[in-house]
Amino acid sequence: MKKKPTQKVVSPAGPLGIEAAAPLRRELLAAFEEADEVLFDFSRAEDVDLAVLQVLYAAKRSAAHRGAFFALIGSVAEKVSRRLQVAGFTRSACSTGEELETSLVDFGSVSR
């Protein structure tokens, strides 16, 4: 019997610097063990750095390998949006996770 689809939201708070990357990775891996749909909520993130961004790209790739779903949701702080755009990770400013997901360079094309 196929298991019923489940959803898990991961919503870390504060500045997400390099020290947050490993715990976030563990939290996302655990979420994929519990659910086949994992959502990363940006609403409480005050800042992100490259290490956290790498974890998000890896989560997207992991979801594809597992046959699961991973998406970015929630509001994106102006500081986060501006930092990603200036660093060349996004094509335009983003105010929501959904906009960020479509704007992050190669994020939507992450595959196996």
Residue 49 · residue 14 · CB < 8 Å: no
* Domain spans of the chain, in order of start: 7-103
Whether the full predicted model's pTM is greater than 0.75, yes or no, is yes
Q: What is the DSSP letter of 87?
A: T
Residue with tokens 């940006």: 42
Phi-psi region of 14 (alpha: psi -120 to 50; beta: other; left: phi over 0): left
pLDDT tens for 12-37 read: 999 999 999 999 999 999 999 999 99
Work out the mean pLDDT of the chain and round it to a whole number. Answer: 92
Minimal CA–CA distance to 20: which of 46, 1, 2? Answer: 46
Task: Quickly name the fold that domain 7-103 has.
Answer: Transcription Regulator spoIIAA (3.30.750)
Compute the average pLDDT of residues 81-98.
Answer: 93
pLDDT tens for 67-89 read: 999 999 999 999 999 999 999 99
